[in-house]
Amino acid sequence: MPIKVDFLARVDYEPTYAAMQKFTAERTESTPDTIWICEHAPVYTQGLAGKKEHIFNPGDIPVVATNRGGQVTYHGPGQVVAYPLLDLKRAGYFVKEYVYRIEEAVIRTLLHFGVTGHRVAGAPGIYVRLDDPAGHALLPQRPVKLGSDPAAQRNGSGPNFSGLGKIAALGIKVSRNCTYHGVALNVAMDLEPYSRINPCGYAGLQTVDLSTMGAFASWQEVAEVFSQKLTSYLAP
């Protein structure tokens, strides 16, 4: 059965999180896979690995502890958030491929708007070259198969974000082979709240959106393209 898409518009984070958990707990083998597309009021969400020291000045923005993977991120107006609620067993692929497929949907969406997205070894999410957002040159720190490119191996030194900005953040949860939480793609935001945290736990990691990269599109335009790419790339 095809993946269903529900556009929820702007919704508060905590009720949406609770609804995802309820949907996943109550779903059966016949429950259709669904992607929720929405936008949130300003909120910091902390993953299971989250450390308090990565949020140093939340101000009046609430901080919500969640059960997704990863560290702290920010959600706010001007960001397209996608929550795929999928049965991976039925889809026929595993978590690692699921993450790859989500990232591919982000990359294809960015390409539609003239921006080139990149993966970085050891750091889920999608990144953009700050000096050449539309350039296609490969990153030296891209993920590679072990042994295929010795020069590109990171030797355990951690991801290298020099010259890069993060444009999409990923945080997922899988329960009984079913996914929730998801991915946030920055369109045209107030990026200041990112300066009050270490995004995804990385000090000094710059966060960007499509508009700062010179690509101007409405939230609705990006949401529609992104939902199409997700349904295509997450299909069984």
Catalytic residue among 43, 188, 200, 208: 200
* CA 8/CA 34 separation, integer angstroms: 12
Residue 70 Cα distances to 49, 51, 194, 236, angstroms: 5, 10, 16, 26
Phi-psi region of 76 (alpha: psi -120 to 50; beta: other; left: phi over 0): beta
Task: Please state at what angle helix 219-233 crosses helix 95-112, rounded to 10 degrees.
Answer: 140
How do strand 118-120 and strand 72-75 relate by DSSP bridges?
Answer: unpaired
CA 27 to chain centre: 24
Residue 213 CA to residue 110 CA, distance in Å, equals 11
Residue type, 117: G
User: Which residues are within 8 A (CB) of 83 and not within 5 positions of it... i.e. 6 or more apart?
Assistant: 16, 20, 35, 36, 37, 38, 180, 181, 182
Q: For this structure, is 38 an active site residue? A: no
Q: For strands 43-46 and 72-75, give the pairing.
A: antiparallel
Question: Under a CB-based contact definition with an 8 Å cutoff, are residues 168 and 82 in contact?
Answer: no
Active-site amino acid positions: 200
